[in-house]
Amino acid sequence: MSKELRYIIEQISVEKGLSKETLMETLETAMLSAIKKRYTEPENLGIIINTNNYDFEAYRDKTVVEKVENPNLHISLEEALSIDENFKLEETARVPIEIKDFGRIAVQTAKQAIFQKVREAERDMIFEEFSHKLGSIVSGSVNRKERGVYVINIGKAELFLPQKETISGEHLKIGSTVRALIDSVSHTSKGPQIILSRIKPEFVVELFRLEVPEINDGSVVVKKAVREAGERSKIAVASNDASIDPVGACVGMKGSRVQSIVRELRGERIDIINWSDDPRVLISRALTPATVDKIGINEDDNVALAIVEDSQLSVAIGKKGINVRLAMKLTGWDIDIMSETKYSTMKLEDVESVS
């Protein structure tokens, strides 16, 4: 048995990167559990495995007494002295026990315990690896689809991309490569559960981080991003370097950087604006691609009124209200939009031109 145990432990240690000490502890625990199943009153059973030759010895810890009432728990002083002449009453004697036909069971137990330990260690490593990647983008291969969830393989790990976390109308082919954001990482009884998303605003932010070196090195900062996946995203950026145009950096030469992201998002429109601490300016920019003539704000109620030319009204509102809805999410203001024609018929206070 010792040869088989040695082979199992040394092979697993090399292949899986687990220390021999860890495997020996696992082996000892598993074999002790197997031994205890074969005996009544197993509480005082123990096992020792020789780390040099992998032989093992099972034993019972028994209390030295004058009169033995329970041979599983007690040993007579006379018998204890035959083991060690220094024993005294009420001391604990470690008494070896013979286990017949245990070799085959021990090896099988060892294999099961060690392989289980390997699975647990691999799960822990996967959990640790992807916990550190939470909020970043990963790329993997679509392995299969089960109950509305794509299973994505990355190395030995299986990650899960629910259909509801894919862009509207997107159908991923088995074997294709897909990029997605690591949205959550958690422990479950079946191992680490890593959930991906392609619809979160953070996915767009991380795509820009990958495409725009100025964002990656901190020269350009993404102040906020909002999104209705498959339709439109808005991203507000600012520069920590006066010589860098943050919008230009994100757009890239001839639009190369932003177009790369648009392709990844299946043609989704992306509005990139300069951030401003002035709410009037920020709201005006957030309504891009519409041009705003005037902005009125009520700071007490956090409400703004944007005045646009009649021809810009539908652009400012957007299809099904998506443009103004995203502008409100981006700025944190409730925004009403009014055409010049309607505005001219009303008397409004606290309305200023937008520079």
3-state secondary structure of 51: coil
d(Cα 182, Cα 115) in Å, to the nearest integer?
29
- Domain boundaries of the chain, sorted by first residue: 2-129, 139-197, 200-275, 277-355
d(Cα 346, Cα 349) in Å, to the nearest integer?
10
Q: How does pLDDT run across 114-155, given as a tens digit for each residue?
A: 788 788 888 988 999 999 999 999 999 999 999 999 999 998
**Residue 175: which region, alpha, beta or left (left: phi > 0; alpha: psi -120 to 50)?**
left
Question: Which residues of the chain are under the pLDDT cut of 50?
Answer: 348, 350, 355
* Spatial CA neighbour of 351 closest among 283, 275, 253, 260: 283
Fold of domain 139-197: OB fold (Dihydrolipoamide Acetyltransferase, E2P) (2.40.50)
3-state secondary structure of 217: coil
d(Cα 266, Cα 263) in Å, to the nearest integer?
5
The CATH class for the domain spanning 277-355 reads alpha beta
Q: What is the pLDDT of residue 259?
A: 96
Contact present, 88 and 76 (Cβ < 8 Å) = no
Fold of domain 200-275: GMP Synthetase; Chain A, domain 3 (3.30.300)
The CATH class for the domain spanning 2-129 reads alpha beta
This prediction has a pTM of 0.75
**Are both 2-129 and 139-197 of the same fold?**
no
- Classify burial at 170, counting beta carbons within 10 Å of its beta carbon; exposed 0-12, middle 13-18, buried 19 or more: middle
Tokens representing 236? 């507000």
Q: What is the DSSP letter of 70?
A: -
* Spatial CA neighbour of 270 closest among 243, 245, 252, 292: 252
Between strands 232-239 and 269-274, the pairing is parallel
Q: What is the pLDDT of residue 100?
A: 65
